[in-house]
Structure 1
């Protein structure tokens, strides 16, 4: 048997007894659904049972989408000539459209709206870098042609 399976077997009673994650705490309305819930529920149980909680796509989709934002931020270090305007324009449009959509759907998903907002911001920054680079290349090219015509 592997050490990991021994660890999981040893931890199983704690999870079954719900003593590890589901300790009652003070009530917080932050992750509560519109349905009334007892005030003695812990944060973990409320988050688990919430319509945008841990067991739903409303939670995991934004968590996974942060990888796109981090990849875009990592591309800030790349030279602008190596970036794709089409790809970054698509990321910008996706971020803008889905930010609005996340605030219209029910239940409202603020976590997904936040990640899409930052995806749009990263896309706008990258598109701006690419367009400025392309404009500087055109200016350099036209200046070189004008210089060649003069000589």
Structure 2
């Protein structure tokens, strides 16, 4: 039987020293900006700076990555929550809105901890949490009004 550390050898990258591959942009002599690609850092020092579009294209949180597209797609959840503002509170699900609130708040904090920091994802998660708080407060206020309604009806009947 082979040792357990050899079982996953096929799943490893083909690079001899994979940590060196992933740290290639973090060399001390690399003077380029963090969001520029390593190929642009090898250009001459007198070259013109890259355009905003090119920097965003080559950014670790740029248009080519999930770090950009995840927040874009997650705005659909925020818009769905905002569209639910028009629905009556009795038709909203408390557990679903609590889950959205907690998801938004927890992931907002997480987006500010991870590297690279993803402010776009933090913003969408913040608004998701905000929409959830509004919806949960609407549901709780409606439930409270339903508890006091029978007492008010009995009082009105007695009069």
Question: TM range, normalised to the smaller chain?
Answer: 0.7 to 0.9
Deviation of 1:41 after TM superposition, in Å, equals 1.3
Task: State the distance in 2 between where 1:45 and 1:32 align.
Answer: 13
- Is contact 2:63–2:69 with CA below 8 Å preserved after alignment? yes
Assess if the C-alpha contact under 8 Å between 1:32 and 1:47 holds in 2.
no
Of 74, 78, 85, which aligns to 1:69? Answer: 78
Corresponding position of 2:143: 134
How many angstroms does 1:33 deviate by?
Answer: 1.9
Task: Identify which of 69, 85, 100 aligns with 2:94.
Answer: 85
Match 1:98 to one of 89, 107, 126: 107
Contact preservation (8 Å) 1:88, 1:127: yes
**1:7 aligned partner:** none
Partner of 1:33: 35
Cα RMSD for the two superposed structures = 2.2
Determine if contact 1:32/1:46 at 8 Å carries over to the other structure.
Answer: no
Q: State TM-score, norm by structure 2.
A: 0.69
Per the TM alignment, residue 147 of structure 1 is displaced from its structure 2 partner at its CA by 5.7
Per the alignment, in what secondary structure is the counterpart of residue 112 of structure 2?
helix
Query: d(CA) in 2 for partners of 1:39 and 1:127?
Result: 52
**TM-score by structure 1 length?**
0.72
- TM-superposed CA distance for 1:78, in Å, is 0.4
Paired residues in the alignment total 120
Structure 2: stretches of 5+ with no match in the other structure:
1-32, 42-46
TM-superposed CA distance for 1:42, in Å, is 1.6
Runs (4+) of structure 1 exceeding 4 A deviation are 34-39, 145-148
Unpaired runs of at least 5, structure 1: 1-30
Shift of residue 34 of structure 1? Answer: 7.4
Work out the CA distance in 2 between the residues paired with 1:39 and 1:130. 56
1:21 equivalent in structure 2: none
